[in-house]
Structure 1
Amino acid sequence: MISWCDDVFCGWLELYSYSTGLQYIVITGASSGIGAATSILFSRLGSKLVLAGRKEDNLKRTRDACMQTGDEEPLLVVGELRDSSYRENLVERTVEKYGKLDILVNNAGIISLGSIENSTMENYDTMMDVNVRSVFHLTSLAVPHLIDTRGNIVNVSSVNGIRAFAGVLSYCMSKAALDQFTRCAALDLAPKGVRVNSVNPGVTITELQKRGGLSDEAYANFLERSKMTHALGRPGEASEIAESIAFLASDASSFITGATLPVDGGRHAMCPR
Structure 2
Amino acid sequence: MVQHVALVVGASRGIGRQIAIDLAKDGYAVVVAAKSTSDASKVTPFPPNPNSTQSTISTVQREIHEQGGEATAIAVDTRDYASVQNLVAKTVEKYDRLDVVVYNSGAIWWAAVEDTPMKRFQLMQQVNIEGLYGTIQAALPHLKREKRGRIIVVSPPIYSRFFRGKAAYAVGKVGMSVLTKGLAMDFERQGLTEMAITSIWPAAAIESAATDKFTKADPDEARDLRKPTIFSDAILEMLKAPAAAVNGQLELDEDFLRRHVGVTDFSRYSFIPGTSPRRIMPAELPDLSVKEQADEGKRHDSSKEVRETKPSKL
Q: CA deviation at 1:75?
A: 1.3
Q: Would you say 1:88 and 2:63 are equivalent positions?
A: no
Q: 1:188 to 1:144 in 2, by over 3 A?
A: same
| Contact 1:40/1:66, CA 8 A, preserved across alignment | yes
Equivalent residue number for residue 208 of structure 1: 210
Sort the Cα spacing of 1:162 and 1:243 in 2 relative to 1 into closer, same or farther, 3 A: farther
Q: Which amino acid is the alignment partner of residue 15 of structure 2?
A: I
Q: 1:130 aligns with which of 105, 127, 139?
A: 127
Q: Which has the higher helix share?
A: 1
Aligned with residue 49 of structure 1, among 30, 52, 55: 30
CA deviation vs aligned residue, 1:38-63 (integer Å, no higher than 9, x gap): 11101111111111011113112211
Q: More relative contact order in 1 or in 2 (CA 8 Å, sep 6+)?
A: 1
Partner of residue 16, structure 1? none
Counterpart selection for 1:246 from 220, 236, 239: 236
1:246 Cα shift? 1.3
1:107-152, CA deviations, whole angstroms, 9 ceiling, x for partnerless residues?
1112113212211111111101101001001101111111112211
Q: 1:64 aligns with which of 45, 62, 68?
A: 62
Give the direction of change, closer, same or farther, for the CA distance of 1:162–1:64 in structure 2 (3 Å limit): farther
Q: Which of 247, 269, 272 is the matching residue for 2:282?
A: 269
Change (3 A) 1:161 1:34: farther
| Count of aligned pairs between the two proteins | 238
Q: Which whole-Å deviations, capped at 9, do the CAs of 1:7-28 have from their partners, x for residues lacking one?
A: xxxxxxxxxxxxxx97111000
1:26 — aligned with what? Answer: 7
Does the CA-based 8 Å contact 2:109-2:166 persist in structure 1? yes
1:146 partnered with 2:148:
no
Give the aligned CA root-mean-square deviation in angstroms. 2.5
Quick one: structure 1 residues 76 and 172, their matched pair in 2 at CA, closer, same or farther if it must change by over 3 Å? same
Give, in angstroms, the shift of residue 86 of structure 1: 0.8
Unaligned runs of 5+ in 1: 1-20, 228-233
Percent identity (aligned): 23
Relative to structure 1, the CA distance from residue 22 to residue 106 in structure 2 (aligned partners, 3 Å threshold; closer, same or farther) is farther
Aligned to 1:111: 108
Structure 2 match to 1:235: 225
- Secondary structure of 1:25's aligned partner: strand
Asked whether the 8 Å contact 1:179–1:198 carries over to 2, the reply is yes
Q: Deviations over 1:79-109 (max 9, x none)?
A: 3111111101011001111111100101111
Any conservation in 2 of the 1:161–1:172 contact (CA below 8 Å)?
Answer: no
Larger-gyration structure (1/2): 2
CA–CA distance in structure 1, aligned partners of residues 211 and 168 of structure 2: 14
Cα 1:189/1:220, change in 2 over 3 Å: farther
Q: Secondary structure at the match of 1:96?
A: helix
The letter of the residue matching 1:32 is R
Query: Structure 1-normalised TM-score?
Result: 0.79
From 169, 175, 182, the counterpart of 1:171: 169
Secondary structure of 2:114 counterpart: coil
Q: How much does 1:236 deviate?
A: 2.3
1:257 to 247, 257, 270: 247
Change (3 A) 1:154 1:76: same
TM-score, with length taken from structure 2 = 0.69
Q: Does the aligned pair in 2 maintain the 1:115–1:168 contact within 8 Å?
A: yes
CA distance, structure 2, for counterparts of residue 70 and residue 252 of structure 1: 28
Q: Aligned to 1:148, what secondary structure does the other structure show?
A: coil
